[in-house]
Each structure stands twice: as C-alpha cells, then as structure tokens.
Amino acid sequence: PGTLPADLPPLGPDDVRGPIQPTQVHIPDGLDWASFAVWLSALLHARGEDLVRVKGVVRTPAGRLLLQTVRKVVQSPEILPDQGDARSDNVIVFIGRGYRPEDISRSMQRFLDLPLPLPV
C-alpha cells in the first residue's frame, strides 16, 4: 500500500518478437509419450524465454493428464478425474511470441513423424 507502480519503458524497435499470442495444437490419439516429452523438453530449452505458458489436458493410457509449464519450468504432470466432457482433451495451448503459430505444429509433426497436416 502506498507504493507507486514502476514505470515500464515502451518496447523499442529492437524487440522484433511481436505480441504474445495463443496457439492451439491438437494432439493425436496414440501419441508416443516418450517422444512427445523429448520434443516438449527440447522446445522449452530452445524457446523457453519466448514461450510464456504451455497448458493442456491430454488423454493418456493412465487417464487425463494435466500438462503445464511456465517458461522453462514444467510442473509435475497431474492425473485428472474423468469428467465425461472431452471437448478440451488432447489440446495444448502455447502462449508466447517470436514464432508463427504453424511453426509449433510443424515442429511437433516433424519431430514425432506424424502425418501432415495436424489440425491447428
């Protein structure tokens, strides 16, 4: 209380990463989870400063898995109860900047050797 907010400088012309935007990626059934984990880890390692948040619910053989990251930090996966509504299952949202939305899907497709194109 009583503290003034810090003045933030405007983004200069040197910041070419663009605005922060969401990108949805649909995960196909029967995904190889070991390969997916390696891809996501590599993506976060390479682009973790640009990927502000990753979040989704994915159906796995163990049940519905909540997947969450903040920058390069991955939260321990959590198994969720089955709620009967699968509309948001197998969708991961990437929130970040400095990439085109289709780059995320294409990267996953190529790394995991998935058929092209995946719906975005």
State phi, psi for 34 to the nearest 5 degrees. -65, -45
Confidence of residue 94 (pLDDT cuts 50, 70, 90): very high
In terms of average pLDDT, the best of 30-34, 38-42, 58-62 is 38-42
Q: How confident is the model at residue 68 (pLDDT cuts 50, 70, 90)?
A: very high
Which CATH class for the 30-112 domain?
Answer: alpha beta
**Within 10 A of 111 (CB to CB), how many other CB atoms are there?**
15
Q: What is the mean pLDDT of residues 90-114?
A: 89
| Amino acid found at 28 | P
Within a 10 A sphere around the Cβ of 101, how many other Cβ atoms?
Answer: 14
Instruction: Give the Cα separation of 100 and 117 in Å (integer).
Output: 16
pLDDT at 11: 65
Q: What's the pLDDT score for residue 116?
A: 62
